[in-house]
Structure 1
Amino acid sequence: MRAAVFHEAGKPLAIETVADPRPQPGQIVIAVSGAGICGSDLHMTQHPGFAAPGLILGHEFAGTVAALGEGVAGDWKVGDRVTAVPLFPCKDCEACDAHLPQLCPNGRFAGTTLDTPGAYAQYVAARADMVQKVPAGVGDVEAAMIEPLAVGHHTFSRADMRKGEAVLIMGGGPIGAAVALFARAAGAAHVVVSEPAVERRERCMALGATATIDPSKEDPGQRFMELTGTRPSVVFECVGMPGLVQQAVNMAAIRGRVVVAGVLFTEDKVLHVAALGKEVSIIYSQAYNERDFEAVIDALARNVIDARPMHTATISLDEVPVVFESLRNNPAQCKVLIDPSL
């Protein structure tokens, strides 16, 4: 099969012919109809040591069943339209026992190790118990975005949001945009997105945000009060930069919730007395689980949400090396999909 292969940080991905994946026991091989380029893929390939030479990236994907491994249970058949939770958990730890595979300390994501190659290719293997059917009412483009939507759904669900609440989202990238989509669909009275890039602010408005703030020109907390007449009951931190959790705590209402989805690899400081004085809850959100995928698929199938504004381009495998590098600093793009059939 043809695939986009990583070899070295600082160099573009290479389009190569590699061996087709063979389904191991308990696995399903999927013919990829769409694979999303994720910001984590860009980060993994930016610095030496994070991605192994020869790695095929890609953990956002959908397609059709191409082959079944030995012992696969259920009524799966070749040609079924599917997506998959791109996790390979150990199924024998505290997290797995709690049905939280995304928190498995021994688990792996598709597209992150040589043993679990990803979907920047014509075919990808997934654990059969992580595969989910895509109903006829969900198009191929939407199906390929189920994974990033599931990240947003999990982040949103961690807030236990109540109808009519005021929500502030810090960051209008794919995660923040998806959170806006679900918060508005769930009945939030105000969904305000703080984002410096004008293209992202416009996209979030198309996805259901009630207002946006440019934090490079306005104080987000003060502007939120002007727009809504209240402080946010929930603040979603979807950026991952030092100081933003503290800023979120400062802006949150009495007994507000701060949900942290932004990934930060360095130490940060939080003045705990600021949270203590308002009994603010700080909650973390990591990836998703099978239930988030099910909820997203159901919402798409019933037209509860319209995620199409998140899709900004579809490219062929041959275009991946150039487009992939261009996405390192391009807020005009949101969800770029790879279609290996092009």
Structure 2
Amino acid sequence: MRAAFFREAGKPLEIGTTADPTPAPDDVIIAVQRAGICGSDLHITQYGAAPSGTVLGHEFAGEIVALGSAVQGEWKLGDRVTALPIHACGECDACDKDLRALCSSNVFTGTGLARPGAYAEYVGARASTLQRLPAGVSFEQGAMVEPLAVAHHAVSMARIEKGAAVLVIGAGPIGAAATLFARLAGAGHVVVSERSDVRRQRALEVGATAAIDPVAENLGERFRAITGRAPEVVLECVGMPGLIQEGLAVAGVRARIVVVGVCFEEDRFHPLTGLTKEASIHFSQCYHERDFEAVIGLLASGKADARPLHTQTVGFAELPTAFEALRTAMGQCKVLIDPRG
């Protein structure tokens, strides 16, 4: 099969071929119809956080083409699916609490050689992690379920009350999705802070009540002018040093700051800023299968429209260039890969 390989930091992905995968007893093989490029994939290649030869890609949807010998029951060839890209041990404290994404031994699909990802024609997945795609959910939507689930989980952790004033920092794929789910959760105001005018407009398309350019305006003052109060919930969806402190600084009394952005660098914030407000900081790392189920249900019912987030689809020929362009292409949101394109 064809696949895109990460070789070393600073070098573009390399398109090549490798043997078609065969399923382990508890696995299935999925013919990838669409795969998503994630910001964490960009970080992995920037920092060389995966071994040479890794096939990236943990956001995907496709059809089952092979079943492991132990897979029985509801799954059959041709089923349309996505999957949680999780391979947990099943025995640790996190797994005992049904928090497999937090398993200390977990291996995410597409982050190493043991579990090649979906930048390929085929990808393996544990049958226990599969999620069925209803007829009304396209493969494009199915490939976006994973990042949507990240945002859904973060919004669930935020415990947004009806009518609440919410600040979303960043309007990339996760920030835009968090905006969508915050509105669905009943927030009265969902104000997005974003430097890119294209992304600010996209945030408005998915439900933001207002969008602020934090370079041109004072974020705290402008938020209060729009909503009449300070944020009761802050969703940090960028992952750059300094943004936790920014969220604390603008947040209101007993506000909840949920950190969703993945920061690969050391960061600092002033505890006194949060102490004087009794603010709380929560880190939202991933998701639960219930988040996948909820997102698929919202897509199928039409209550959630993720189409504005999908900005481009590329084939393998375009993939290395498109991947590198995402490091600076602020106008893009979710770029999908068509392995057969």
Is residue 80 from structure 1 mapped to residue 79 from structure 2 by the alignment? yes
Q: Map of 1:227-242 to 2, 5 A cutoff?
A: 227-242=226-241
Structure 2 residue aligned with 1:298: 297
Corresponding residue number in structure 2 for 1:41: 41
Q: Which residue of 2 aligns with 1:322?
A: 321
Distance 1:151 1:319 in 2: 27
**How many Å apart are 1:274 and its aligned residue?**
2.1
Task: Tell me what 1:6 maps to.
Answer: 6
TM-score by length of 1: 0.98
Query: Structure 1 residue 21 and structure 2 residue 53: aligned?
Result: no
Question: In structure 2, what is the Cα distance between the partners aligned to 1:240 and 1:306?
Answer: 25
Is this contact kept in 1: 2:57–2:110, CA < 8 A? yes
Trace 1:69-108 onto structure 2 (pairs within 5 A).
Answer: 69-108=68-107
Deviation at 1:47, TM superposition (A): 2.9
CA RMSD in angstroms comes to 1.0
Deviation at residue 230 of structure 1 after TM alignment: 1.0
5 Å matches for 1:241-260? Answer: 241-260=240-259
User: For residues 65-93 of structure 1, what are the alpha-carbon distances to aligned partners after superposition, in whole Å with 9 as ceiling and x for unaligned?
Assistant: 11000111331010000000001111110
Contact 2:37–2:337 (CA<8 Å) still a contact in 1? Answer: yes
Partners in 2 of 1:114 and 1:95 — Cα distance? 24
TM-score w.r.t. the length of structure 2 is: 0.98
> What aligned pairs does 1:1-342 form with structure 2 within 5 A after superposition?
1-48=1-48, 50-342=49-341
Consecutive unaligned residues in structure 2, runs of 5 or more: none
Amino acid at match of 1:310: L
Q: Give the AA of the match of 1:62.
A: A
The AA in structure 2 aligned to 1:103 is L
Residues in 2 aligned to 1:56 and 1:338: alpha-carbon distance in whole angstroms = 13
> Aligned partners of 2:214 and 2:286: how far apart in 1?
26
CA distance in structure 2 between the partners assigned to 1:291 and 1:150 by the alignment: 9
User: Secondary structure, in 3 states, of the residue corresponding to 1:323?
Assistant: helix
269-278 or 2-11, which deviates more = 269-278
Q: Secondary structure at the match of 2:207?
A: coil
Shift of the alpha carbon at 1:324?
A: 1.0
Query: After the TM superposition, which of the residue ranges 38-47 and 194-203 deviates more from structure 2?
Result: 38-47
Per-residue CA shift, 1:17-65, capped at 9, x if unaligned? 11011100100110001000111111111234x1211111000000011
Deviations 1:269-306 (A, max 9, x none): 22222212221111110011211101100110111110
CA distance in structure 2 between the partners assigned to 1:40 and 1:121 by the alignment: 18
AA paired with 1:56?
Answer: V
Whole-angstrom CA distance in 2 between matches of 1:61 and 1:305 = 19
**Distance in 1, Cα, partners of 2:43 & 2:271:** 30
Higher mean displacement: 238-247 or 62-71: 238-247
Amino acid across the alignment from 1:25: P
Aligned-partner Cα distance in 1 for 2:122–2:192: 37
SS at match of 2:231: coil
Q: Which whole-Å CA distance do the structure 2 matches of 1:233 and 1:308 have between them?
A: 28
Structure 1 residue runs of 4 or more that deviate by more than 4 Å after TM superposition: none
Deviation track 1:188-214 (CA, whole Å, cap 9, x = no partner) reads 100000000111111111110010000
SS in 2 for 1:83: strand
1:103 & 1:178 partners in 2: Cα distance?
22
